Structure 1
Amino acid sequence: MKNRKQNYFTKWNMFLLVMFLCVSVYGQKKFSSIIPRKEVKELIYKIVDADTLKMELYFPDNLKKNKKYPTIVFYYGGGWNGGTVDQFRDQAGYFASRGMVTVLVDYRVKSRHGSTPYESVKDAKSAVRYLKVHAKELHIDKKKMVASGGSAGGHLAAAVALLPGVNESTDDVLINTKVSALVLYNSVVDNGPGPGGFQHERMGEAYLTISPIHNIKKGAPPTMFILGDKDHLIPVSVAYDYKGRMDAVGSRCEVLIYEGQGHGFFNKRVDTDEYYMITTREVDKFLSSLGYIKGEPKL
């Protein structure tokens, strides 16, 4: 009887192992079909104070030699203190599969460079200038450039589009950093003294020069603002304040609020990809509405 039980449990364990392997293989195939594995091109876009700053680029399949492609530039979050380009690597792979040049930008942060948010903004703007200068060789359509990011990275995306100042002294400021669209994930956009202002004290008296919401003017690019209603850092009211100011100058702004979701809910996770997929699909639809990508979303 004991041997029969052991045989039963051995067979059951083998069955579970086989099922696990099958699910794992299926999951890998499903994952790879959504996020293609693409070759990364790494470039140095800036050397400042002995710091070498790099960006990583993905290109669409079957890249045509003389063709320009819509481009989306991602800035990771981390409170201007830390973070890595890995945060948006999956989104970058996806949108490259949709026919865009995608860029992951590294920049100075406090933990690695002893820098302030002002240096982060300078780097973000330097990166856009670099891409514009090298647009031809990188197959970039300068008229279809999107800046995107999460949290402090979203602040940088909004900064390159909206801030007239905060530039690196060595940059050619005749090359503007305006982009044609913004995709903001639970982004810091208000650095003012009010209840929605983020780290106002850290910005100091010059906060008006670095706070995106205080620099929205006519011609601000169409924007998608993604936020969870349980975000402990960015109040929902800030997103609607941003939209109100955009409406006032005649610029398009879509606000998507996700019930029960907190800060960073859009990131790809080990336990579930649900909100990564939902938000990526919404961004796909937004970019399609601008004419930057075509066809049905692959998600």
Structure 2
Amino acid sequence: MKTILKLRKNILTLVTFLLLLLLIISCSDENSTPEPILEKSESLNVSYGAHEEQKYDIYLPKGRTSESTKVFILVHGGAWVEGDKSDMNAFVSELQSQSPNYAIVNLNYRLASEGNSPFPMQINDIKAVIAHLKSKQDEYQITNKYAFIGTSAGAHLAMLYSYAYNENKEVDMVCSIVGPTNFTDDAYVNPTELTYLVLALQVQSITGVLFANDMQYYKDISPYHVVTSSAPPTILFYGNQDPLIPSSQGIDMHEKLNELGVTNEFTIYDGEGHGWEGENLLDTTVKLRAFIKTHF
């Protein structure tokens, strides 16, 4: 009988303790302040270096967190010597509409000129942007997972960085729209088209390196030659009547990625040049959306 009474007393004591514990937890929850939901915001012309061209715009989504919010990085074209981040504003609007939970960084980089080589200067600027984003990770509430979207020279830089400088495997995807991939392509080294000759001469002029003197230099700055099997998923868009980028640049890059077992998609538009509109632009948009959804 005493044993039963003692057991009942112990049970009552345990129940009383559990009720007190639940009351304390309940009061604690009532008094705690929930984390505020961050609102959508943007910051324009953020400096990431001392040069006036080292600036980016950043667009941050509502409800972002440092654990879940991935980042698009947009890289404009302009033959490495001109262009501006405003050229990519249409991509900003598209991404905000179709991928509203991602952050977007639209960057400017230092422009090259004769005697002022883009390599490694412009790759160093991309490195500096990523370092700056990491330093602001808590403030911005973003992850260190990136997807590059580049056009023309910007696509070349996006691929070159993603294939040769992505040591921490932080780039999850890259998109090239009419980006040069191989400066050792015979179309540039021994050009038969005047427009290819003009681009080949410009590249040699701004780098200060002649094809004939240092072909290894041009391999080192060609995505086609530096890509490895660890490259991120890549989507490629080209036109087969491009006066600046021969179709071999896209075709050969696609075949190289296939050989290496790198996930990729390739579209070449018949009759299109260095950019397109209408149905083909819609096709590009739809394919890019699907690729982002699957791979980023």
**TM-score normalised by structure 2 residue count:** 0.71
Partners in 2 of 1:259 and 1:284 — Cα distance?
21
| Match runs of 1:7-26 below 5 Å | none
Go from structure 1 to structure 2 and tell me whether the alpha carbon gap of 1:96 and 1:139 turns closer, same or farther (over 3 Å shift): farther
Partners in 2 of 1:178 and 1:55 — Cα distance?
19
Go from structure 1 to structure 2 and tell me whether the alpha carbon gap of 1:277 and 1:240 turns closer, same or farther (over 3 Å shift): same
| 1:143-177 deviation per Cα after TM superposition (whole angstroms, max 9, x unaligned) | 3x10111110001101211224xxxxxxxx9x757
Q: Structure 1 residue aligned with 2:187, among 182, 191, 195?
A: 195
Partners in 2 of 1:244 and 1:274 — Cα distance?
26
Aligned residue in 2 for 1:55: 56
Q: 2:49–2:128: 8 Å Cα contact kept in structure 1?
A: yes
Q: Structure 1 residue aligned with 2:221, among 200, 210, 228?
A: 210
Cα displacement (A) at 1:252:
1.0
Answer 1 or 2: which has greater helix percent. 2
Q: Indicate yes or no: 2:70 matched with 1:70.
A: yes
Q: What amino acid maps onto 2:147 in structure 1?
A: V
SS at match of 2:137: coil
| 1:67-119 deviation per Cα after TM superposition (whole angstroms, max 9, x unaligned) | 531211111000011001112111112212322111111001136x9732212
Cα displacement (A) at 1:277:
3.4
SS at match of 2:268: strand
Q: What amino acid maps onto 1:282 in structure 2?
A: K
Q: Structure 2 residue aligned with 1:101, among 85, 97, 103?
A: 103
Go from structure 1 to structure 2 and tell me whether the alpha carbon gap of 1:185 and 1:53 turns closer, same or farther (over 3 Å shift): same
Aligned residue in 2 for 1:134: 136
- Percent of residue pairs identical: 26
Partners in 2 of 1:193 and 1:275 — Cα distance?
26
Aligned-CA RMSD value: 2.6
Q: Indicate yes or no: 2:280 matched with 1:279.
A: no
Q: Structure 2 residue aligned with 1:44, among 37, 43, 47?
A: 47
Stretch moving more, 125-134 or 181-190: 125-134
Aligned residue in 2 for 1:263: 274
Go from structure 1 to structure 2 and tell me whether the alpha carbon gap of 1:115 and 1:157 turns closer, same or farther (over 3 Å shift): same
Q: What amino acid maps onto 1:155 in structure 2?
A: H
Cα displacement (A) at 1:54:
0.6
Is there any run of 5+ residues in structure 2 with no aligned partner, and where?
Answer: 1-39, 190-198
Q: Indicate yes or no: 2:187 matched with 1:184.
A: no
Go from structure 1 to structure 2 and tell me whether the alpha carbon gap of 1:75 and 1:255 turns closer, same or farther (over 3 Å shift): same
| 1:12-62 deviation per Cα after TM superposition (whole angstroms, max 9, x unaligned) | xxxxxxxxxxxxxxxxxxxxxxxxxx8531221122xx54511001122x3
Aligned residue in 2 for 1:31: none
SS at match of 1:41: strand
Aligned residue in 1 for 2:236: 225
Is there any run of 5+ residues in structure 1 with no aligned partner, and where?
Answer: 1-37, 165-172, 267-272, 293-299
Partners in 1 of 2:184 and 2:102 — Cα distance?
35
Aligned residue in 2 for 1:12: none
SS at match of 1:243: helix
Go from structure 1 to structure 2 and tell me whether the alpha carbon gap of 1:114 and 1:123 turns closer, same or farther (over 3 Å shift): farther
Partners in 2 of 1:84 and 1:74 — Cα distance?
11
**TM-score normalised by structure 1 residue count:** 0.70
Partners in 1 of 2:162 and 2:93 — Cα distance?
23
Q: 1:55–1:105: 8 Å Cα contact kept in structure 2?
A: yes
Go from structure 1 to structure 2 and tell me whether the alpha carbon gap of 1:65 and 1:241 turns closer, same or farther (over 3 Å shift): closer
Partners in 1 of 2:232 and 2:112 — Cα distance?
29
SS at match of 1:288: helix
Q: 1:91–1:280: 8 Å Cα contact kept in structure 2?
A: no
Aligned residues: 234
SS at match of 1:107: coil
